[in-house]
Amino acid sequence: MNREERLRALAPGARPDLIEALAALPAGTVRDVLAYGRQTGRDRLVAEKNRKRNNREQARRHGHYDEDQLTDRTLAVLDSALARSLAGRLDALEALALFVLHVNTLIPGVVRALRPSVADAALADALGLTVQALHKRYGPRPENMPEPASACPVCGAADPGGTHYRREHHPDGPGRERAADYVRARLAAVADSTRLKGR
């Protein structure tokens, strides 16, 4: 292996003319140049990591997260746990069960907290339920708690029961079609994986 080949092995992404120029330099100079290049690459990675960490801190501090981003991140984590479960990792299956338990514990409390200020129809839409299913699962609205007067979150129109919002902006309920598509896709993936394992 000649000097140029050794340099290509040390810097596989370098241009051919740069390799030739380095090969013509004294060995000590080449070592210094390569060390500088490696250190520059490490510094760039550290700077990028710090930039991302700073962006996340700023987003947390100022609430700049888009709800869809958080949803996508959560679904990605669940997908990963599902894949590990299908590979036989029982700890991943346990993590999925704990997630379901946690969510099922949190949602009733959120419904109770939001009911004084949010119409039952809007709550039902957010949960992908009908109003009747909402009442069956979380109980009817207390008699001393009237339906709040509310405005459409999209256009600001008066929307006392959430009917304008559903009819004009989300006829299938916000996120319900997306959730249904997601569940169908996950079930298909599980079925495919099970078929592959059975071969």
Render pLDDT for 113-164 as a digit per residue (tens, 0 to 9).
888 878 888 788 888 888 899 999 999 888 888 777 665 655 555 565 556 6
Determine, yes or no, domain membership for 138.
Answer: no
- What pLDDT, on the 0 to 100 scale, is given for residue 173? 46
The reply to whether 24 falls in a domain is yes
Please count the structural domains in the chain.
1
- Domain span at residue 16 reads 1-64
Cα-to-chain-centroid distance, residue 11: 36
Indicate whether 54 belongs to any domain.
yes
DSSP state of 167: I
Task: Determine, yes or no, domain membership for 95.
Answer: no
Average pLDDT over residues 59-80: 78
Q: Is residue 109 in some structural domain?
A: no
Is 58 contained in some domain?
yes
DSSP 3-state of 158: strand
Task: Of 164, 112, 161, 163, give the one whose Cα is nearest residue 140.
Answer: 112
116 assigned to some structural domain = no
Dist. CA 125–CA 103, nearest whole Å: 17
Identify the H or E element spanning 151. none
**Residue 133 falls inside a structural domain:** no
Choice between 85 and 19, residue whose per-residue pLDDT is larger: 85
Task: Kindly list the distances between the CA atom of residue 137 and the CA atoms of 9, 53, 100, in Å, as whole numbers in the listed order.
Answer: 64, 40, 16
Q: Which residues make beta-bridge pairs with 151?
A: 158
| pLDDT tens-digit map of 76-105 | 888 888 889 988 999 999 999 999 999 889
